[in-house]
Amino acid sequence: MSASQPDHYATLGVLRDATQEEIKRAYLEAAQRLHPDKNVAAGETELFLGIQQAYEILSNPKRRAQYDATLPPEAPIDNKFIRHEVYFSRPSLVQVKEDQLLYILLEIEPSAKQSGSLPAPPLNLCLVLDRSTSMQGDKMDILKATAVQLMRALRPQDVLSIVAFSDRAEVVVPASINLDRRKQENSIQMMHPSGGTEIYQGLEAGMREIRRTLDPSRVNHIILLTDGETYGDEQDCLLLAEEAARQNVGITGMGIGSEWNDIFLDALAGRTGGSSVYITEPRDIEKFLVDKFKSLTSTYADEVLLEFKEQERVRLNFAFRLQPEGGQIETNSPLHLGPILRDAPLHILLELVVTPGALEEGDVLLLDGNLKASVVSQPLPVPPIRVRLKREVFLEPKAEPPPTRVLKALSRLTLYRMQERAQSAASQGRYDEAAKHLQNLATHLLSQGETGVAKTAMLEAQNLENRRAWSASGSKDIKYKTRALLLGSGKEKTS
């Protein structure tokens, strides 16, 4: 390839071994972002023509083969937008006749050159707000005041829409860049609680508003806030979240009080790389909404995907996002890892199970895939990063300690998984076993100086022993307080 010849793979943001389906998908995504009908910025028409040329060549097997013949040997791609580091819990694997656990910590952040040079992205944000009867009083008053506050904080380039729902949905503020602020604030103040809770009604209306101004150059996001459970429409909601993920629309679930379904909201948000938030008191609604609004405006990459091929005799058992927002990740490829913020790198902990049959070779390929990031302010696709993780196999273990950052992440994750075991045992009626898990959790929390959470764990252990039930908010208190401890577990820079 001559110096003047364009790199069509880089133009589409795919690797050289990309399948025809991957090439087509990359082209459609890039074309949507750069199509002249939607973009009039200087230079973007030329970029669109480059995308078209790359697709015409790479989508034709004969022309692709001729082009590939002109390429030099593939070298590691210098990704100028994001950098990543990989840390292993052990330096090697041991040839034994039993399964071995191996932990991998991924740290993904903006490159030093780019993090401060790109402008803050515009927002396409929809608030989907529960206005059922149970929201009356302080909850609704604070919610309306905070919605007005967020509207006044909008920048000229931002889009905000608001949907209120009970057993039906109403668009209170339609998606628009040039809002009539006084009119829309009056519409917000007119929201009154009534009816039941049907989340799908609100979520579907919210997606319609997001689609009206859907733009890859924006952070497209839904914040769903509720204080109750939805009934019968959970599967429809999850399918809608999967559709949102395909359109690069994120979802954050916020639950107020103790009556909402945290497992459902976690799953709903998790389909898009998001997570759920627990708001204990109505007075905290403002803080959580404002904090989320600020984090969206500091987004660098609004979605990071890890696409991978399953390896024989190696199983991805567990995936967890440590920061910027703690949450479990579904282990199907692609993994929706979540966003990268300018001031909060993305930290992911993977748990792999390596079976004895994988240990017969000199080394083991643990994970073969690539990282794909969507940098909001970058019009062209960001080249993917190939990820091939291996460990050597020896007859005896090496006496090399794990990196400090991995140990810290594992110690915090252990606390979270202790509460998971307690939750599971209690849900199956094994209350004494659940209480023991919580007592064990409290001991570990005290050893790490977390006295407040330890006290909560001991109180809930007593409730499970004596009353055979959690307190009204106990289950969520334990879950979200131990999850909060995960934040910052990877901040140390020494390895």
Judge whether 57 and 8 are in contact, CB under 8 Å.
yes
Look at residues 200, 328, 196, 202 and name the one whose alpha carbon lies nearest to residue 263: 328
Residues 109 and 174 in one domain: no
Shared-domain flag, residues 158 and 293: yes
Both 29 and 165 in one domain: the answer is no
**Other CB atoms within 10 Å distance of the CB of residue 332:** 10
- Let me know: does 95 contact 359? Beta carbons within 8 Å: yes
Any idea what the CATH number is for the domain that residue 29 is in? 1.10.287.110
Are residue 159 and residue 197 in the same domain, yes or no? yes
For residue 494, what pLDDT is reported? Answer: 34
Per-residue pLDDT of the chain in tens (495 residues, 90 and over written 9): 555 577 888 788 788 888 898 888 888 877 776 655 554 444 456 777 888 888 888 888 898 888 888 888 766 666 778 889 999 999 999 888 899 999 999 999 998 766 566 678 899 999 999 999 999 999 999 999 999 999 988 888 899 999 999 999 999 999 987 777 888 999 999 999 999 999 999 999 999 999 999 888 889 999 999 999 998 999 999 999 999 998 889 999 999 999 999 999 999 999 999 999 999 999 999 999 999 999 999 999 888 999 998 888 999 999 999 989 888 899 998 999 999 998 888 999 999 999 998 887 678 999 998 898 888 877 777 888 889 999 998 888 887 888 999 999 998 889 999 999 999 999 999 999 999 999 999 999 999 899 999 999 999 999 999 999 999 899 999 999 999 888 754 444 333
Task: For residue 330, give the nearest of 339, 338, 320, 322 by alpha carbon.
Answer: 320
Check residue 33 and give its pLDDT.
Answer: 66
In a domain, 16, yes or no: yes
Pairing mode, strands 335-341 and 169-173: unpaired
Residue 2 lies in a domain: no
Dihedral over alpha carbons 355, 358, 364, 366 (to 10 degrees): -50
Confidence at residue 380, expressed as pLDDT on a 0 to 100 scale: 72
Q: What is the pLDDT of residue 493?
A: 37
Give the model's pLDDT for residue 397: 81
pLDDT of residue 488: 53
Is residue 73 in a domain? no
**How many C-beta atoms lie closer than 10 Å to residue 412's C-beta?**
24
The CATH code of the domain that includes 111 is 2.60.40.3670
Q: Which domain holds residue 42?
A: 8-68
Distance CA 72, CA 360 (A): 35
Point out the domain boundary residue: 297, 330, 362: 297
> pTM of the entire structure?
0.86
> Which one-letter amino acid corresponds to residue 378?
Q
Give the span between the Cα atoms of 267 and 276, in whole angstroms: 9
Same domain, 263 and 325: no
The single-letter DSSP state of residue 402 is P
Which of 362, 394, 426 is the last residue before a domain boundary?
Answer: 394
Q: Say if residue 370 is in the same domain as residue 456.
A: no
Q: Does the residue 493 lie in any domain?
A: no
Contact assessment for residue 354 and residue 317, using Cβ atoms and an 8 Å cutoff: no
46 and 167, same domain (yes or no): no
Burial class (CB in 10 A: 0-12, 13-18, 19+), 30: buried
Enter the tokens of residue 442.
């409290």
Q: Are residues 107 and 64 in the same domain?
A: no
One-letter amino acid at 10 equals: A
Q: Give me the number of domains the chain comprises.
A: 4
User: Between 451-466 and 431-447, two packed helices, what is the crossing angle to 10 degrees?
Assistant: 170
Q: Pairing mode, if any, of strands 299-309 and 335-341? A: antiparallel
Residue 367 lies in a domain: yes
Predicted pLDDT at 37:
53
Does residue 279 share a domain with residue 133? yes
pLDDT for the residue numbered 43 = 47
| 243 belongs to a structural domain | yes
Same domain for 171 and 293?
A: yes
pLDDT of residue 290: 94
The residue from 366, 394, 422 where one domain ends is 394
Q: Determine how β-strand 82-88 pairs with β-strand 250-256.
A: unpaired
In a domain, 366, yes or no: yes
Check residue 15 and give its pLDDT: 80
350, 466: one domain:
no
Query: Are 333 and 421 found together in one domain?
Result: no
Q: Is the peptide bond before 334 cis (omega within 30 degrees of 0)?
A: yes
Give the pLDDT score at 490. 41
Q: Which of 115, 36, 77 is nearest to 377 (CA)?
A: 115
Is 52 part of any domain? yes
- For the domain that residue 140 is a member of, what is the CATH number? 3.40.50.410
Quick check: bond before 324 cis, omega within 30? yes
> Closest by alpha carbon to 252, among 229, 279, 233, 231?
279
Write out the two tokens for 315. Answer: 């199983």
Pairing type for strands 123-130 and 219-226 reads parallel
What integer pLDDT is reported at residue 3 of this predicted model?
52
SS3 label, residue 440: helix
As a whole number of angstroms, the distance between CA 12 and CA 26 comes to 6
